Amino acid sequence: MTGTLVLLLIFLNVISLQEKTSAPPVTIMFYNVENLFDTFDDPVKDDDEFLPSGLRRWSKSRYIKKLNSVFKTIAAAGEWNLPAIVAFCEVENRSVLNDLTNNTLLERADYGIIHEDSPDARGIDVCMIYRKEIVRILSYDYFFPETPDGNFNSRSILYAKCCIVSDTIHLFVNHWPSRRGGVLAGEDMRISISGKVREVADSIHYRSKGAKIMIMGDFNCTPNDRAMLELTDPATEAGRDKDLTLINLSGLLSSSGPEGTYNYRGTWEMLDQVIVSRSLLECREGLFTRPDLLRIFKPDFLLRSDSRFPGLTTFSTYYGYRYQGGFSDHLPVLIDLVQK
């Protein structure tokens, strides 16, 4: 091989490396943080369990440890590049987000906050933080479906219109009603919320054809449950425009082998999911993603040996009512957006 050819190959490799590293991926993270409560009594919410005098003996030291655990998870997930957006559920109020972004090392990343109190009886909310140097919030809103009695007492859905790297991403953050009491518990409400999210997503598409939509959260059901299938029904059904197709990337992930974000009695379930519009997978320019850019973040420190069932489970803050000082009972999910 001649010296000229060697130099040419080195030059091409350098150019290729520059192209790959000049625009790092934009990472979006979702994390159910398992009851991120402060230690103060909110008289209009049922937060007594998480007070110093409550059943869980929730103290200031435990609260500070919890904040640092959430910080550690975000920092480790981002490695050298902290996530541009971190969406949460099970956060009590804006105050804990202020503590997280200002009283931990996340302060250096200059995260902004989107939060609004929800109708949830316990006071836990969906919310997000975003790096101001990367993300500009064009608008945001919280919404929930109408109920026959007008009494919606679950978490509202966060919708944020985000400008990221001169592209627009429509982001929905969810925490659907629990299945506590059995798989069918709360199903009617989950189906109702699913229909509302679909309605809003469709309206965004009709106003802006080809809009790039991402729907993420703890849906408290698996990709094959009815509420999720109604959200991601095939475009051919009901004559829907194929551009309105929503693809559950987590469903693709779970079909490739045993995966999950939540462990229930020794069985991993895919409750924390990411759904995207076809336009975010097949766009010709701007930000896009691929199924292989979605992953569950599961380092060793977020897991422990299951004392009751074979294998590993999440290292949660509480095991029942016993404090064990872990991180969360859910694993986070991460998805990268790359520039085309």
Best CA proximity match to 214, nearest among 242, 248, 190: 248
What is the rounded distance in angstroms from the CA atom of residue 294 to the CA atom of residue 245? 18
Q: Which two tokens stand for residue 23?
A: 């625009």
pLDDT beyond 50 at 29? yes
- Name the DSSP class of 149: T
List pLDDT tens digits, range 283-323. 889 999 999 999 999 999 999 999 899 999 999 999 999 99
Q: SS3 for 37-84, per residue? A: CCCCCCCCCCCHHHCCCCCCCCCHHHHHHHHHHHHHHHHHHHCCCCCC
- At 307 the pLDDT is 87
Name the residue ranges covered by the structural domains of the chain. Answer: 24-339
Lowest mean pLDDT among 19-23, 24-28, 100-104, 323-327: 19-23
- For the record, the structure tokens of 263 come out as 């462990």
Name the phi and psi angles at 335, rounded to 5: -140, 140
Name the token pair of 264.
Answer: 């229930």
pLDDT at 255: 67
Average pLDDT over residues 70-98: 95
| Beta strands 262-264 and 26-36, pairing class | unpaired
Question: How many CB atoms within 10 Å of residue 183?
Answer: 11
* Closest of 157, 196, 165 to residue 339, by C-alpha: 165
pLDDT at 20: 46
pLDDT at 16 over 80: no
Residue 8: per-residue pLDDT: 35
Q: Is a pLDDT exceeding 70 seen at residue 52?
A: yes
pLDDT at 237 over 70: no
- How far apart CA 147 and CA 212 sit, in angstroms, is 29
Q: Give the angle 240-242-247 at the CA atoms, nearest 5°.
A: 105
Quote the percentage of the chain above a pLDDT of 90: 71
pLDDT at 235 over 60: no
What per-residue confidence (pLDDT) applies to 152?
79
The CA distance from 137 to 330, in Å, is 27
User: Any idea what the Cα angle at residue 65 is, between residues 71 and 302, rounded to 5°?
Assistant: 60
For position 290, what pLDDT does the model report?
A: 95
Beta bridge partners of 309: none
pLDDT value of position 185:
52
The count of C-alpha atoms lying within 13 angstroms of the C-alpha of 252, restricted to the half-sphere facing its C-beta, is 14
| Phi, psi (rounded to 5 degrees) for 109 | -90, -10
* pLDDT tens digits, one per residue of 142-192: 998 887 666 777 899 999 999 998 899 999 999 999 876 444 458 889 999
Lowest mean pLDDT among 5-19, 20-34, 123-137, 179-193: 5-19
- CB count, 10 Å around CB of 184? 9
Cβ within 8 Å of residue 239, ≥6 positions away: none
Residue 239 has pLDDT above 60, yes or no: no
Higher pLDDT, 60 or 144: 60
* The CATH number fitting domain 24-339, selected from 3.60.10.10, 2.60.120.650, 3.40.50.1820, 3.40.30.10: 3.60.10.10
DSSP states of 197-235 as a string?
HHHHHHHHHHHSTT-EEEEEEE-SS-TTSHHHHHHT--T
